[in-house]
Structure 1
Amino acid sequence: MAQPTGEPVEDYDYEALPPNFSLWQNMAAGAFAGIAEHTVMYPIDAIKTRMQIIGASPAATYNGVLQGTYRIASGEGLLSLWRGMSSVIVGAGPAHAVYFATYEAVKHVMGGNEAGVHHPLAAATSGAAATIASDALMNPFDVIKQRMQIQGSSKMYKSMTDCAKYVYRNEGLGAFYVSYPTTLSMTVPFTALQFLAYESISTAMNPEKKYDPVTHCLAGAVAGGFASALTTPMDVIKTMLQTRGSATDPELRTVNGFVAGCRLLYRREGMRGFFKGVRPRVLTTMPSTAICWSAYEASKAYFIRQNDAL
């Protein structure tokens, strides 16, 4: 950006948002990142959801990602792997916009944008605050998504709107948020771990903190895989709560919270049940977070260049 003659040019660290980087630009970058992250890896997420459901029929029981992909595609049609993705597209953009806007705001308040200084506490706290805000917006869309991912959902719901109406009519508004506390019990530590790992890895790989696509991609993948593996038990319970309304098992339909879900899962499947779907979850999350961070950082770099050209 051109500077008036006689005034010093102000340099800023890439990781520290410049003064002319507006809120809407940060939210646009976050929205782009969220949509890119979720849509690319959606089919594997669908398989993970089915693997986590308790008491699934033999036709909906899979031993791995490849087997699950083949059986769903051959038995229900290839496009069924993307069933429910419209809910993600509608919800992920606004949710990730709020996510990254909150992250940058809290990080700035905590001094995490100071150039040349690594602030792990600021990164972890910012990530936790960001996920509390974004999950409040995303949770209903996630419920709809998982309802549409389960086997036989095409016979119950014709569209995202139809699914939302069905859930509301038969289970009430609370069904969209019954899993919210459990979701937070997973996503808050997940996000804190992910942001802490991402900031630490990216700082080690790129101490100058310049825009570097390779660094953002690798750091995002490793951070996401690490965090997703550790938080899989909470994800299993979240899936139980979000799909309970479609279950035929009376005991499953009455599960009303995290503790009740843990008790039921442990009684039926033991400790092993808490890690159902861990491989597809990690397999989904690593490229998803790599895509998310790469898209976000690329968007941020683009807006910075555009602002500097003014």
Structure 2
Amino acid sequence: MRDIIYAMNKLSNMSNVDLDDPRFRIRPYQQIIASCTGAFITSVIVTPLDVVKIRLQTQQKAMLSNKCYLYCNGLMDHLCPCANGNMPEWMRRNGKFNGTVDALIKISRTEGVISLWSGLSPTLVLAIPATVVYFVSYEQLRIYLKDTYNKEFRKKSTNMEQPFWIPILAGSTARIWAATLVSPVELIRTKMQSQKLTYAELTQALKTVVRYSGISGLWMGLGATLLRDVPFSAIYWLNYETIKKIFYISQQTFTFNLAAGAVAGSIAAVFTIPFDVVKTHRQIEMGEKEIYSDKPIRSSNTWSIIQRIYHQNGLKGLFAGLTPRLVKVAPACAIMIATFEHGKRFFQSYNAKKAIGFDIEHDVHLLQHKPSSTE
């Protein structure tokens, strides 16, 4: 009877189960389900903020590339932007955006609230495969590296450790795969959000890119994207896993995952915003140089764009769109990681209950039918 009670207590006390136990780890298809749910929710919530970020960065690029000199009072020249034919139509209607809130208000008033979700379709098409590849790859690589490290270097220890370099390497590698896979869709989304193109115009634009630049033109801006996303992933996962390690007792709650994801994402976003600006500049140049020009040419390289932005607008120019990016990244990382971790815990608990429950039921069955010693 004592054995039966112990077995039942073990089954009910699942909170003490090591969910990283190889027996209970979630399967790839369970990781896919957990990541897809978070990707959908996150995309719907943060798309308006992404539209604002792209518009602010597009506005800066238009002001940098379209300039004139106004002679004032005979004492000095004043540099100012000119509204010429290269300026997007939405910029003429809305005027200059003075910040995130101002952009949200002006876009809603002049283009309609629904325009804040411009590019949502390609965002969803982008988010689902990117998130699946990214999170599944990260989890698989992290677990593999962790198991290998503990097997090779900690043979005499019974405690599983995860050194700081594992999330850095796993996050960076997973991001390279995911970013390369969805780069063409990212290009489409950026164009839709920056110029509000119709699908017909977008199709023609993409045909022009392929005609003059080949299939590789669809990966325009991938270098800048990787320069942004790979360090972002390395910094993000390092901080997130470190926060989890420091606050080990609290890490099983949904609220903790929200807070940890927001903090880790914000830190990574600040360090990588200059590369996000460069990526946007390179991709919207497709409209200026490769679509509306008689002889399209490829856009400038990453370093030359950084130099141009810095010389023309200072350090501030490299951080254009920082506020909407932070406002977007913090909740996006929070929702995505919290949803993913919650899904992981659900499936891990399910797998643990299924595995332990089966063993316990079998043991209980044997104990119940075990001949008594008095017989």
Same fold (TM over 0.5): yes
**TM (normalized to structure 2)?**
0.72
**TM (normalized to structure 1)?**
0.86
Q: Could you tell me which of 341, 347, 362 is aligned with 1:297?
A: 341
Pairwise CA distance, 1:158: 3.1
Pairwise CA distance, 1:194: 0.4
Q: Give the Cα–Cα distance (whole angstroms) in 1 for the partners of residues 23 and 259 of structure 2.
A: 25
In structure 1, the residue matched to 2:42 is: 37
Q: Give the Cα–Cα distance (whole angstroms) in 2 for the partners of residues 192 and 17 of structure 1.
A: 25
Q: Give the Cα–Cα distance (whole angstroms) in 1 for the partners of residues 287 and 325 of structure 2.
A: 22
Q: Give the Cα–Cα distance (whole angstroms) in 2 for the partners of residues 124 and 189 of structure 1.
A: 9
Q: Whose radius of gyration is greater, 1 or 2?
A: 2
Q: Does 1:22 align with 2:52?
A: no
Q: Give the Cα–Cα distance (whole angstroms) in 2 for the partners of residues 188 and 16 of structure 1.
A: 29
In structure 1, the residue matched to 2:264 is: 223
Pairwise CA distance, 1:118: 4.3
In structure 2, the residue matched to 1:52 is: 57
Q: Give the Cα–Cα distance (whole angstroms) in 2 for the partners of residues 96 and 49 of structure 1.
A: 21
Counterparts in 2 of 1:60 and 1:202: CA distance versus 1, 3 Å: farther
Counterparts in 2 of 1:253 and 1:68: CA distance versus 1, 3 Å: farther
Q: Does 1:202 align with 2:244?
A: yes
Deviation sequence 1:121-149 (CA, Å, 0-9, x none): 10111110110111112211111111111
Gaps of at least 5 residues in structure 2 are: 1-6, 64-86, 151-158, 355-375
Moved >4 Å (runs of 4+):
8-12, 15-20, 112-116
Q: Could you tell me which of 128, 152, 156 is aligned with 2:172?
A: 128
The amino acid of 1:27's aligned partner reads: I
Q: Could you tell me which of 226, 241, 251 is aligned with 1:184?
A: 226
Q: Give the Cα–Cα distance (whole angstroms) in 2 for the partners of residues 63 and 17 of structure 1.
A: 53
Gaps of at least 5 residues in structure 1 are: none
Pairwise CA distance, 1:19: 4.3
Mean alpha-carbon deviation: is it higher for 101-110 or for 40-49?
Answer: 101-110
RMSD: 2.7
Pairwise CA distance, 1:27: 2.1
The amino acid of 2:31's aligned partner reads: N
The amino acid of 1:94's aligned partner reads: P
Q: Does 1:169 align with 2:207?
A: yes
Pairwise CA distance, 1:262: 1.6
Q: Does 1:106 align with 2:119?
A: no
In structure 1, the residue matched to 2:77 is: none
Pairwise CA distance, 1:219: 0.5
Pairwise CA distance, 1:195: 0.3
What secondary structure is seen at the aligned counterpart in 1 of 2:318?
helix
Pairwise CA distance, 1:60: 5.5
What secondary structure is seen at the aligned counterpart in 1 of 2:342?
helix
The amino acid of 1:168's aligned partner reads: L
The amino acid of 2:274's aligned partner reads: P
Mean alpha-carbon deviation: is it higher for 167-176 or for 81-90?
Answer: 167-176
The amino acid of 1:231's aligned partner reads: T
Preserved contact between residue 182 and residue 258 of structure 1 (Cα < 8 Å): yes
Q: Give the Cα–Cα distance (whole angstroms) in 2 for the partners of residues 253 and 280 of structure 1.
A: 31
Preserved contact between residue 244 and residue 251 of structure 2 (Cα < 8 Å): no
What secondary structure is seen at the aligned counterpart in 2 of 1:29?
helix
Pairwise CA distance, 1:111: 1.1
Preserved contact between residue 91 and residue 137 of structure 1 (Cα < 8 Å): no
What secondary structure is seen at the aligned counterpart in 2 of 1:28?
helix
